Chains A and B, each alone.
Chain A
Amino acid sequence: AQSVTQLDSQVPVFEEAPVELRCNYSSSVSVYLFWYVQYPNQGLQLLLKYLSGSTLVKGINGFEAEFNKSQTSFHLRKPSVHISDTAEYFCAVTALGYYGGSQGNLIFGKGTKLSVKP
């Protein structure tokens, strides 16, 4: 069975500082990986995704993530954060079947709350 671990429940950071939100997954098969962002009192919005190919994935709002198969990680990074990046971030994984299609549903991590201070 797949699982997702977000190693930090809360990450406080000052404005314009770099940030990394960590995500590790467990799966015995190939996966698709996603990061979602949830602003206060809103639903989840897709930030970026890794399907195949280049391990460095760029998303919206200046975020990027790197897929590391050997480390089973998919950490999210931004070189300089803004106050408006304050939100909760969710990592998610879905396993792929033998013929490449996804099996089952998305499995979500428990979320990391990013708090950007002035």
Chain B
Amino acid sequence: DVKVTQSSRYLVKRTGEKVFLECVQDMDHENMFWYRQDPGLGLRLIYFSYDVKMKEKGDIPEGYSVSREKKERFSLILESASTNQTSMYLCASKIGDDSYGYTFGSGTRLTVV
């Protein structure tokens, strides 16, 4: 069974900390995505990557950066966490063709205190 694995289900960090959220997929997918999910706002795209070392800004990239050094791993970085970054973070991946849809990880619920 194909999988997207997010390293932490729950995370609590302090304001100003540097935070790393890790995502690994075992499907050899080219494309990977980071979303944040907030009540009433649905899923908002933060960053995506269509190849190793390639990245593109999504709709809300401010305060975030990403790293994709290997095809299977896509990391989301909060350089200096703030309370307004408290959210559910979802990683997803897909092959080049959208007809297969996206495969999502289980999510990381991040609380910044």
Contacts and interface: CB of A to CB of B under 8 A. Distances in A.
A51 B92 CA distance: 20
B43 A108 contact: yes
A41 to B, nearest CB: 7
Contact of B99 (A32, A41, A108): A32
Interface in B33-63: 33, 40-43, 45, 48, 58
Interface stretch (B12-20, B73-81, B102-110): B102-110
A80 to B, nearest CB: 26
A111 to B, nearest CB: 5
A43 B90 contact: yes
B1 interface: no
Residue among B97, B99, B101, B102 having the largest count of chain A Cβ atoms under 10 Å: B101
Category for how many chain B residues contact A: 20 to 34
Interface stretch (A14-22, A60-68, A98-106): A98-106
Contacts of A42: 106-107
Contacts of A41: 9, 106-107, 109
Assign chain A's interface to a size class: 20 to 34
29 contacts: A32-B99, A34-B101, A36-B101, A41-B9, A41-B106, A41-B107, A41-B109, A42-B107, A43-B4, A43-B92, A43-B104, A44-B90, A44-B102, A46-B101, A49-B99, A51-B99, A90-B42, A90-B43, A94-B98, A101-B97, A101-B98, A102-B97, A105-B33, A105-B45, A106-B98, A106-B102, A108-B43, A110-B42, A111-B42
Interface of A: 9, 32, 34, 36, 41-46, 49, 51, 90, 94, 101-102, 105-106, 108-111
